[in-house]
Structure 1
Amino acid sequence: MDENNEELYCIGCGAKIQSDDPTQPGYTPESAIKKGLESEGLYCQRCFRLRHYNEVSDVSLTDDDFLALLNQIGSADALIVNVVDVFDFNGSLIPGIHRFVGNNPVLMVANKEDLLPRSLKRSKLKDWVRQRANAEGIHPVDVIMTSATKQHALKDLLKAIEKYRKGRDVYVVGVTNVGKSTLINQIIKNSTGMQDLITTSRFPGTTLDKIEIPLDDGKMIVDTPGIIHKDQMAHYLSAKELRLATPQKEVRPKVYQLASGQTLFFGGLARFDLIAGPAQRNGVTVYMENNLQIHRTKLEKADDLFSRHQGGLLQPPTTKELEQFPPLERFEFKIREKSDIVFEGLGWVTVKEGTIVAGYAPKGVGVLRRKAMI
């Protein structure tokens, strides 16, 4: 802030200027505050990038704002485009969204599919995403697999939006870290007539800022602020640690031959136990970030190893992040057919039938079984 500690506000969106947290409304680097005051035009970083580069960046919502946003969406007559992360489906679902969308159709966009192995059939994953959505009370009119960073299936997405919106506005919603803003930016770049036409306005009756991208028929694509989901692995890690933990490139399978009573640690984030298997050596295949450190040990030594080395030998998280990192929660599975044990936000381990296994993840982060995708 300036020397007088005067409260400053963005002249674009009205958010209170702050320099502490880039994910929160009103963030502006200290150096930009001084320049803005000298030029008598102080914008937060988000509005500055929007104004000068037509580039959308995400901000996070508090719980109260989140409820206000859902109420606004529920009262609109619009197509809802719900962006989720294929590596973190449960963690990227908006809590309670099925109760708020009303009669509005939902088009589900499963982002980051470029990180999946090429051997994984996309049709299988698409079916799984639809099944998981249905189980959560969401019944999407369609599921589009895409990669915002690589622009995969972007034209398919634009066609689907046009098909299902039927002359209505489009609301794009998602939790933080799913790539929603990257996707919006690609839509802007790939849609003619949208350059220099982005506007901002408030959701009625709230302090929430929305970004509007005009469509040819006068309707809007409305980009909404990102919603924090506390059951995301990403919620417990810094940006630097997140890059070490979550897939950045197409994941390469790693095969381990495990005897009964052996454990794999995925950094200090998660754990996999092969409790019992039908063979002397049982092959399991790990699909996670290629650079994530994996440590093997005996099950009987695993608890002691973890308590002594989480944050050191077993990282991420680092010792600095251990204070806010929750304890691991255990999930046990009896495997009757070839299955994937999915660690939400990290990836999965493929195991053969006839085994008994357990998966551990930070409390609140899901571990679930699905029929093997590969």
Structure 2
Amino acid sequence: MEDEELRCVGCGAVIQTTDPNGLGFVPASALKKAVDNDEDVYCKRCFRLRHYNEISPVSLTDDDFRSLLSQIQDTDALIVYVVDIFDFNGSLIPGLHRFVGANPILMVGNKSDLLPSSFKRSKLTDWIRQQANKNGIRPIGIELVSAKTNDSVDHLLEVIDKKRKGRDVYVVGVTNVGKSTLINQIIRQSTGIKELITTSRFPGTTLDKIEIPLADGKQIIDTPGIIHAQQMAHYLNGRDLKIVAPQKQIKPRSYQLNPEQTLFFAGVARFDYLHGDKKYGFTAYVENNLFVHRTKLANADSFYANHLGDLLTPPSGEDLKHFPELVRHEFKTTEKSDLVIEGLGWITVPAGVIVAGWAPKQVAVLIRRSMI
């Protein structure tokens, strides 16, 4: 059976029955049962993930992931590059232009269902294009979708079919941007099969490329996600990530702050109003259930040190031992702006103030023109 190189339907790993700790492991009895009954074969890792939401460590290295992606440059294909609109910098694939060669790139901003209703989507599309250009990416188009709710996926499929011009389609993205969930929606619409590819909020679910046939003989190829250390998700377990990363449409929360006041976003981020002429209103767009605590700037450092892991949680449990220090990023605004903490959300601030955003080391904090 193993000579036929069976692959896990969920993650693409080669099925094996000899190493319980290795990728693609299936107990021999379970494999025989699945083959005898002509059933889909899921490795032990995917089975545990699907039924118990438990993740196992991935033994593939970043170099292994990149070597798979590097095969794309020798193809003639459309590249669908999926990014998280709440974590653009954390969604960047270093050296993407080397992986894709001369192939055109269609960028897809995922998780649009989380945006507040007042958000200007045209401004977001323009901003994504600007950020892509700064990183050497020249997309032929930008689409906003929600893989989770299936919003605008029909339109995306129409755009893909038009722009691929009879070619294969490679779907690429770093971990945790919802790429496999989007692929699942595509499969569901084209074949009626639900949850074919294992999905999880944990990094590193898809371990090898998975090929989905198209009607004209071409394929949509789902590639493994590259684990990116600049993601907030990289530092949190699945339970805490549900608390930090937005799960439903964001409801704005407004705070009247005097200069030298601080907002803590649980223990994962911090916002300081450093200097301004007067008391101003600041609006936070973060996960609706995330704990936000206001304090004086003068007390902020000691408050964080004394309450991280209890009042200021997440992070919690084992994550506390490995959670990186918060790094300060200061900005002076000349117009109404959004201070963005990647993977968390943003705080809308008025013009003419000096503010600072704090995030775990390597997680990006940036300023942009307000989109509301």
TM-score (norm 2): 0.85
Matched position secondary structure for 2:304: helix
**Structure 1 pair 68–288 and aligned structure 2 pair: CA distance change class (3 A):** same
| Alignment match, 1:341 | 339
| Deviations, residues 205-226 of structure 1 (Å, cap 9, x unaligned) | xxx7321111111110001112
Partners of 2:74 and 2:371 in 1: CA distance: 38
Alignment of 1:306-325 (within 5 A): 306-325=304-323
Alignment of 1:261-300 (within 5 A): 261-279=260-278, 281-300=279-298
| Alignment match, 2:242 | 243
Partners of 1:306 and 1:46 in 2: CA distance: 37
- 1:36 partnered with 2:41: no
Does structure 1 conserve the Cα–Cα contact (< 8 Å) formed by 2:261 and 2:295?
yes
Partners of 1:134 and 1:79 in 2: CA distance: 18
Q: CA deviation at 1:120?
A: 0.5
Q: CA deviation at 1:366?
A: 0.2
Does structure 1 conserve the Cα–Cα contact (< 8 Å) formed by 2:357 and 2:365?
yes
Does structure 1 conserve the Cα–Cα contact (< 8 Å) formed by 2:168 and 2:218?
yes
Does structure 2 conserve the Cα–Cα contact (< 8 Å) formed by 1:36 and 1:43?
no
Partners of 1:219 and 1:40 in 2: CA distance: 28
Aligned partner of 1:39: which letter? K
**Structure 1 pair 353–16 and aligned structure 2 pair: CA distance change class (3 A):** farther
Partners of 1:230 and 1:249 in 2: CA distance: 25
Q: Tell me, which stretches of 5 or more residues in structure 2 are unaligned?
A: 8-12, 36-40, 49-54, 198-206
Q: CA deviation at 1:327?
A: 0.7
Mean Cα deviation higher: 71-80 or 359-368? 71-80
| Percentage of matched positions with identical amino acids | 58
Q: CA deviation at 1:101?
A: 1.4
Partners of 1:283 and 1:347 in 2: CA distance: 17
Partners of 1:127 and 1:46 in 2: CA distance: 40
Q: CA deviation at 1:191?
A: 2.1
Partners of 1:299 and 1:225 in 2: CA distance: 43
| Deviations, residues 245-269 of structure 1 (Å, cap 9, x unaligned) | 0100000000000000000000000
**Structure 1 pair 303–372 and aligned structure 2 pair: CA distance change class (3 A):** same
Does structure 2 conserve the Cα–Cα contact (< 8 Å) formed by 1:241 and 1:317?
yes
Q: CA deviation at 1:25?
A: 4.1
Q: CA deviation at 1:48?
A: 7.2
**Structure 1 pair 334–311 and aligned structure 2 pair: CA distance change class (3 A):** same
- 1:149 partnered with 2:143: no
Does structure 1 conserve the Cα–Cα contact (< 8 Å) formed by 2:14 and 2:23?
no
Q: CA deviation at 1:164?
A: 1.2
| Deviations, residues 170-200 of structure 1 (Å, cap 9, x unaligned) | 00011111111111011111125x869x99x
| Alignment match, 2:135 | 136
Partners of 1:171 and 1:58 in 2: CA distance: 26
Aligned partner of 2:140: which letter? V
Partners of 2:249 and 2:171 in 1: CA distance: 26
Aligned partner of 2:218: which letter? K
Alignment of 1:1-374 (within 5 A): 11-12=6-7, 13-14=13-14, 25-26=23-24, 33=27, 35-36=29-30, 39=33, 43-45=42-44, 62-191=61-190, 209-279=208-278, 281-374=279-372
Matched position secondary structure for 1:226: coil
| Deviations, residues 3-51 of structure 1 (Å, cap 9, x unaligned) | xxxxxx984242556777xxx94366xxxx37516638574157779xx
Partners of 1:330 and 1:189 in 2: CA distance: 44
Does structure 1 conserve the Cα–Cα contact (< 8 Å) formed by 2:174 and 2:225?
yes
Does structure 2 conserve the Cα–Cα contact (< 8 Å) formed by 1:10 and 1:26?
no
| Deviations, residues 277-327 of structure 1 (Å, cap 9, x unaligned) | 121x11100000000000111001000011111111101001421111111
Partners of 1:10 and 1:256 in 2: CA distance: 58
Matched position secondary structure for 2:184: helix
TM-score (norm 1): 0.85
Does structure 2 conserve the Cα–Cα contact (< 8 Å) formed by 1:312 and 1:319?
no
Aligned partner of 1:277: which letter? G
Does structure 2 conserve the Cα–Cα contact (< 8 Å) formed by 1:25 and 1:59?
no
Partners of 2:56 and 2:323 in 1: CA distance: 24
